[in-house]
Structure 1
């Protein structure tokens, strides 16, 4: 999985510039990552990587790190 591709999806979904650090990004850490933003991000990631997350997996995503972990399970499979 390419972190750069995921970062591009996040930046595009939340309309963040390239200077915005993503290290500590999580739901609620930026105004765009609210409940609707969460759905938009999941949809964008699923489309970009050709995967489908379960409801349980979506609920687990609480940070960039957990998003990477969940995505890695699908991309590595």
Structure 2
């Protein structure tokens, strides 16, 4: 599984949505499943999946699946 697929699966699992709904346009609060509580669970799941620790600014800035890809890349994860 590629890192991009792993990130997509992490979103899918954390938000309890099908992987095919995890597209670049998926945005925070655009679906009921991605609220502020789910956001923190998602952050924890991403950190665990890639063995990284996101800083506070990145947690706040992670507003979409596309932005999450950009942020994860900052931590030397090839997507």
TM class, shorter-length: 0.7 to 0.9
Q: What TM-score, normalized to structure 2?
A: 0.86
List gaps (5 residues or longer) in structure 2.
Answer: none
Q: What TM-score, normalized to structure 1?
A: 0.88
Q: Give the equivalent residue in structure 2 for 1:66.
A: 67
Aligned length: 76
**2-side partners of 1:61 and 1:35: how far apart?**
11
- TM-aligned CA deviation for residue 56 of structure 1: 0.9
List gaps (5 residues or longer) in structure 1.
Answer: none
**Superposition misfits of 4+ residues, deviation over 4 angstroms:** none
Q: CA RMSD in A?
A: 1.5
Q: How does 1:39-58 map to 2 (within 5 A)?
A: 39-58=40-59
